[in-house]
């Protein structure tokens, strides 16, 4: 079996345990769900139906694209159902011969008025739209990457590291003068190396704008890499999977506050990295970093990190919120990104991507605080 079949089989097993006869997933404008790509390889714009007897039907907007990329037993164009999701769900249930009265689960994010239309349109079935159902189970599954996903993320990290090295050379020489120069350089370099582009909009904030966690706009014609602190947050999208790194460019002369901020962020990063072992609660790591900053009378206004994969932000969460119950497991890939921000002195953040292995952390990327 290929990776998609293995993932679907895990979900089929879960469906059997939950007595769910058919499951519907939707990846469409306004209702994006990368689980469809995770289960089939289809890049987007499609419905996916899974039956408990281990069959799947993909209903794509673009059938030509699906024939090129998708892995599914049945591929039926959306136009066959008048481009209507409820008509598609009804027809696929009949195609799968789902018995009347069976449980059919639709995406948990379905709006209530739309849910009522599903109930009416699938009147012969018990329609489920719930928290704690398939969507939550898939999030847990996707949090632990399989061998194929890890291979892709490692390749993406190699390209990211190559680009990081190029950027450091450009910053040292002063060749990239504006935030826009930096962002466009990354986009061109990524695509020339076989990437789909960037995994999210590049954030390039020069000394006058680095005080924000995520600068708005993401990049402008303002100078980048001049005296003070500049933040560059970017990721490369490769075969659907994204990296996520942050480089801080610190060019002197720096104030005592700026120097102290840089040192604290590096200490926080090292502390977090030292605590990464299998089964450790991610909240404990986050609380330790918060305590380090608090001792210096500083506060980090965002989470310590997050999972990465088909999305730039996915499970597991690395944050100090009381409702965070995630523990690190081998196969998880996540960021560590401690940061501090000051409205006068600017901001600094250090972010790398880490694979949790059975032996400990494997640091995939090589971003750093660059002192010039």
In sequence order, the β-bridge partners of residue 233 are: 203, 246
343 C-beta neighbours (distance < 10 Å), count? 8
pLDDT at 319 over 90: yes
pLDDT at 259 over 90: yes
**Structure-token match 């209702």, residue found:** 31
Contacts of 100 (CB under 8 A, 6+ apart): 124, 125
Give the tens place of pLDDT for each residue, 44-86: 899 999 999 999 999 999 999 999 999 999 999 999 999 999 9
**Structure-token match 């696929």, residue found:** 92
Tell me the two tokens of residue 366: 């090589």
Give the mean pLDDT of 102-117. 97
Give the tens place of pLDDT for each residue, 164-181: 999 999 999 999 999 999
Domain endpoint, select from 142, 157, 178:
142
Residue ranges with strand state E in 199-274: 203-205, 228-234, 236-238, 241-242, 245-251
Tell me the two tokens of residue 259: 């120097």
Write the CATH number for 65. 3.40.350.10
Domain endpoint, select from 115, 142, 169:
142
pTM for this model (two decimals): 0.96
Residue 235 and residue 312 in contact, taking contact as beta carbons nearer than 8 Å:
yes
pLDDT at 30 over 90: no
Predicted pLDDT at 123: 93
Give the tens place of pLDDT for each residue, 184-206: 999 999 999 999 999 999 999 99
The tally of domains found in the chain comes to 2
171 lies in the same domain as 253: yes
> Could you list the residue range(s) of the whole structural domain that residue 207 is in?
144-371
Backbone torsions φ then ψ of 117, nearest 5 degrees = -70, -35
Predicted pLDDT at 171: 97
Give the mean pLDDT of 319-347. 98
């Amino acid at each position: 079996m290929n990776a998609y079949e293995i993932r679907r089989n895990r979900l089929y097993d879960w469906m059997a345990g939950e007595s769910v006869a058919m499951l519907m997933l939707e990846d469409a404008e306004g209702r994006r769900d990368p689980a469809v790509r995770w289960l089939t390889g289809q890049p987007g714009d499609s419905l996916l139906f899974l039956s408990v007897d281990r069959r799947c039907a993909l209903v794509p907007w673009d059938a030509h694209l699906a024939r090129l990329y998708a892995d599914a037993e049945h591929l039926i164009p959306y136009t066959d159902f008048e481009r209507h999701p409820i008509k598609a769900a009804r027809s696929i249930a009949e195609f799968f011969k789902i018995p009347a009265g069976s449980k059919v689960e639709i995406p948990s994010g379905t709006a209530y008025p739309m849910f009522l239309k599903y109930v009416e349109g699938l009147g012969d079935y018990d329609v489920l739209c719930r928290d704690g159902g398939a969507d939550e189970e898939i999030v847990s599954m996707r949090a632990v990457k399989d061998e194929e996903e890890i291979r892709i993320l490692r390749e993406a990290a190699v390209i990211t590291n190559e680009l990081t090295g190029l950027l450091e050379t450009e910053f040292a020489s002063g060749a990239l003068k504006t935030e826009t120069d930096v962002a466009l350089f990354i986009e061109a370099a990524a695509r020339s190396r076989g990437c789909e582009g960037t995994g999210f909009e590049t954030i390039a904030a020069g000394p006058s704008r680095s005080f924000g966690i995520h600068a708005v706009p993401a990049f402008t014609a303002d100078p980048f890499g001049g005296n003070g602190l500049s933040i560059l947050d970017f990721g490369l999208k490769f075969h659907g999977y994204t990296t996520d790194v942050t480089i801080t460019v610190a060019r002197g002369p720096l104030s005592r506050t700026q120097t102290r901020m840089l040192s604290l962020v590096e200490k926080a990063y090292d502390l977090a990295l030292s605590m990464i072992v299998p089964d450790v609660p991610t909240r404990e790591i986050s609380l330790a970093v918060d305590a380090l900053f608090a001792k210096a009378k500083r506060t980090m206004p965002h989470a310590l990190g997050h999972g990465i994969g088909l999305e730039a932000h996915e499970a597991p969460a690395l944050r100090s919120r009381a409702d965070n119950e995630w523990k690190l497991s081998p196969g998880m890939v996540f960021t560590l990104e401690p940061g501090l921000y000051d409205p006068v002195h600017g901001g600094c953040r250090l972010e790398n991507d880490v694979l949790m292995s059975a032996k400990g952390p494997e640091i995939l990327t090589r971003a750093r605080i660059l002192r010039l």
